[in-house]
Amino acid sequence: MTNESKLITGFWTVEESAAFDSLTIAEGGAIAAPEGKFFTLTVNGVTRTPAPGTYTGDVRITVCDNFTRSTMRFGEETISNFHTAVVVNDGKVVKESSVSAAVQGGTVTDEKAEGVTIESEEWDFNGVLVTGDSNYEINDATIRMVGDGTDDFVGMGAAIAATGNAELTINRTKVHTDGIGRGTLYVGGSANVTMNDCDFSTVSHVPTKEELEEGMKMERMMEPPWAIGLRGNGRTLNLAGDGVLTLNRCHVTSNSWGVLSIDGASLNRMYINDSLVEITGTNGYGFFNIADNIMFDYDSIDEPGCLTVADHSTFNVPYTAALMSLGNGVAEFKNGSVVNSGRFGVFCHRHNGGELKINSGAEFHTDSSCIMVKGSNLNISLDNAVLEAKNGTIGNVAIPSLVTFPG
Residue bearing the bigger pLDDT, 249 or 232: 249
Neighbour-count burial of 167, counting CB atoms closer than 10 A to its CB (0-12 exposed, 13-18 middle, 19+ buried): middle
Q: Indicate if the pLDDT at residue 174 is higher than 90.
A: yes
pLDDT category at 152 given cuts 50, 70, 90 is confident
Q: What is the pLDDT of residue 158?
A: 95
Residue 278 has a pLDDT of 98
**407 pLDDT higher than 60:** no
Helix residue ranges, H only, 263-345: none
Alpha carbons within 13 A on the beta-carbon side of 336: 5
Judged by average pLDDT, the poorest of 45-54, 193-202, 218-227 is 218-227
- Provide the β-strand partners of residue 251: 199, 276
Determine the pLDDT at residue 399.
Answer: 64
Please tell me the predicted confidence (pLDDT) of residue 318. 97
| Model pLDDT, residue 404 | 64
At 173, the amino acid letter reads T
Say which residue, 207 or 49, is predicted with more confidence: 49
pTM for the structure as a whole: 0.93
Mean pLDDT of the chain: 90
Asked if 374 and 355 count as a contact pair (C-beta separation under 8 A), the reply is: no
Concatenating the DSSP letter of every residue in 82-110 gives EEEEEEEETTEE-GGGB-GGGEESSEE-S
pLDDT surpasses 90 at 82: yes
Confidence check: pLDDT of 88 > 90: yes
Asked whether the predicted pLDDT for residue 250 surpasses 60, the reply is: yes
pLDDT for 402 equals 61
Q: 352-383: per-residue pLDDT in tens? A: 778 999 999 999 999 999 999 988 888 899 99
Say what the pLDDT of residue 401 is: 58
| pLDDT at res. 154 | 85
Window from 32-36, 77-81, 250-254, 294-298 with minimum mean pLDDT: 294-298
pLDDT at 1 over 60: no
Please check the confidence at residue 25 and state whether its pLDDT lies above 70: yes
- For residue 169, the number of C-alpha atoms closer than 13 Å in the C-beta half-sphere is 10
In whole angstroms, give the CA distance from residue 365 to residue 358: 13
Residue 321: the pLDDT is 98
The arithmetic mean of pLDDT across residues 109-125, rounded, is 96
| Predicted pLDDT at 26 | 97
pLDDT in tens, 283-341: 999 999 988 776 777 777 788 889 999 999 999 999 999 999 888 899 999 999 999 99
